[in-house]
Amino acid sequence: DNYEKLAPEEQRLNLAQKIYQQCLCDEYLFVPSLSVCRFCCNQVKRETFGYFYLLAWVVTHVRTEQTDRFHVRTEQTDRYHVRTEQTDRYHVRSEQTDRYHVRSEQTDRYHVRSEQTDRYHVRTEQTDRYHVRTEQTDRYHVRTEQTDRYHVRTEQVRTEQTSDCSHIVKNFCQVAIGGETTKKAESRLPDHLIDREKVNEVEDKLLGESPRYIYSEIASTVRDYLSGEPFSSYLESKYFTRQLQWKQLEKKPIGKHTFRHYRVLGKGGFGEVCATQSRASGKMYAEKKLNKKRIKKKKGEMMALNEKELLEKVNSIFVVSLAYAYETKENLCMVLTLMNGGDLKFHIHSMGAFTEDRARFYTAEILCGIQHLHQCNIVYRDLKPENILLDDAGHVRISDLGLAIHVPDRQVVKGRVGTVGYMAPEVIKNERYSYSVDWWGLGCIIFEMIEGQAPFRSRKERVKREEVEKRILDGKYTFSDKFSDDSKDIVRQFLELTPATRLGVKGDKWTTAKQHKFFDKIDWIFLEAGSATPEFVPDPHAVYAKDVLDIEQFSTVKGIVLDEADEEFYRKFATGSVAIPWQDEIIEVGVFKEINVYYENDELVSPKEENSKKSLLDKIPLFRKKKTTPPNSNSES
């Protein structure tokens, strides 16, 4: 206010301009504000306090402008630094991008090389398969040629034998009716003559309706003849002595000390299964121990005896065979074929579904096992993956005949037995049935091998038994993409609800089943001879069984007392060694030559090859030389 009063507007402007110019001089540009004010006051020769306000305003605006310029420069500098930083970042990113592209290019090259390597391995594998198939084809042709030669030779031998037999029969009949009495005919006389009446009777039967036993009377005549002089000569020969020696060795008493016992492989309803070894030959077996008290408690005597008797009847490479049956103080023991490869259930659950070729191979061998059982008039009734075992080479066998039953010709049985999910509709409806139930079970196994789960119940599915049986009776099951047309068709035919139209029952039974397109790749001659190559071979170092600690232990059976009636049953069960498996064991382990000795001219004849080790003959009391004496011809034994 004072400044405006003392200085008019025009004077103020001039004064301000002069002061502004003085303030912009180099000498006083950056001097403190008080000095500037004093200088300006001297210049304008004013001592009025109002000039200080003007000076302060000018200095403030000058400094403000300088500050603004400084801030502008600072802002430009900041922008420069920002741009520089952005440029650096850009260069860093560019470098990273270049490295990324380099790595991408290297990765692409790696993938290209990997793809080329994979193609190389695929081609190598295809080449190996081609060579394997070529080798198999060559072997097949060689075997086929050998088979053809064998058939040609067989036909030639049969032709020669037929010619000789015709000649002998012609002369025989002439002699029998008195038609030829020359010395030449007498030189060709057979050892025994059959009446002409019996020959005519056979001719009449052949021309008429053929009865069941056409040659019964002639067979009786031949039997009567053989029981005379030929049999007397046989009793005096060395062959009869050898047969007695073999039978005595075969019928040696069997007990727990006959074997060495190893780890437990599993358990069943009446006991456990463990690995065992014959001390005499060293052959390994699986021993099934049935606890006596547990059998009596569950009333399973007939079931155990039935399984043992049925196992004695079968003799097939596709069914587990019984080698020995004996008893101990606590158990009834069955020594069976050892199958180290585990069961199909174990492989399906651990490895998943099988390839169709592998499933086809197992199906073909199971079919051969079912065929053998049916030929022995045995209905298995419990066909499931758990009862199909693999051996060391990868072949399968049917095991556990606990629910099997012997069915006479053209008869049927009745009973709801089996495993839930695998029982045939006729079993569920408690109808009478025969061999048809086994073919239903085979269809379930084929489905489970290819799909990885049973047809009527998924794995780990919690469902009531009634629901599963309803699905079976309704025939509710679905195929996935894993099935081919042939596999679908054979499963449908095996799972036919009507037994009469089921594959294996209709037509020529198992022959019709073998002719299905699903088995076009199977050579049944090689397969039935055990010469087919399995699709999978178990690892010899692996254990295809539960850990010993995972197998539950049986609790002690209390309150059961064994009496004399039980002892009678045990004596029926413990029959010792079974003839054919025992003979196979002796031949397989290579001790046949050592024990195959006989008496000739009152002296013991042994093999010419000497063994540096202690001979098995010295281990068996029957063949110890210091105790052997020639057999007495007058002896009745």
What residues contact 385, with CB distance under 8 A and at least 6 apart? 343, 344, 345, 348, 445, 448, 449
Looking at residue 537, its amino acid is V
Helix, strand, coil in percent for the chain, rounding step 5: 55, 10, 35
From the list 376, 357, 361, the residue with the least C-alpha distance to 531 is 361
From the list 247, 233, 238, 234, the residue with the least C-alpha distance to 598 is 238
User: Rounded to whole angstroms, how far apart are CA atoms 81 and 101?
Assistant: 29
Three-class DSSP labels, 30-95 = CCCHHHHHHHHHHHHCCCCCHHHHHHHHHHHHHHHHHHHHHHHHHHHHHHHHHHHHHHHHHHHHHH
Specify the DSSP class assigned to residue 433.
Answer: B
Residue identified by tokens 């206010």 is: 1
Q: DSSP assignment of 300-359, as one string?
A: -HHHHHHHHHHHHH---TTB--EEEEEE-SSEEEEEEE--TT-BHHHHHHHH-SPPHHHH
Which 3 state secondary structure label does DSSP give 447?
Answer: helix
From the list 402, 483, 403, 407, the residue with the least C-alpha distance to 449 is 483
Residue identified by tokens 């098995």 is: 616
Which 3 state secondary structure label does DSSP give 25?
Answer: coil
What residues contact 483, with CB distance under 8 A and at least 6 apart? 450, 451, 491
CB atoms within 10 A of CB 176: 17
Residue 513 backbone dihedrals phi, psi, to 5 degrees: -65, -40
User: Rounded to whole angstroms, how far apart are CA atoms 122 and 117?
Assistant: 8
Three-class DSSP labels, 531-558 = CCCCCCCCCCCCCCCCCHHHCCCCCCCC
How many degrees, rounded to 5, is the angle at CA 22 between CA 21 and CA 24? Answer: 65
Question: Is 476 assigned to a binding site?
Answer: no
Which residue(s) pair with 321 in the sheet? none
What residues contact 627, with CB distance under 8 A and at least 6 apart? 621
Which residue(s) pair with 273 in the sheet? 266, 288
Specify the DSSP class assigned to residue 501.
Answer: G
Active site residues: 382
Binding residues for ATP: 297
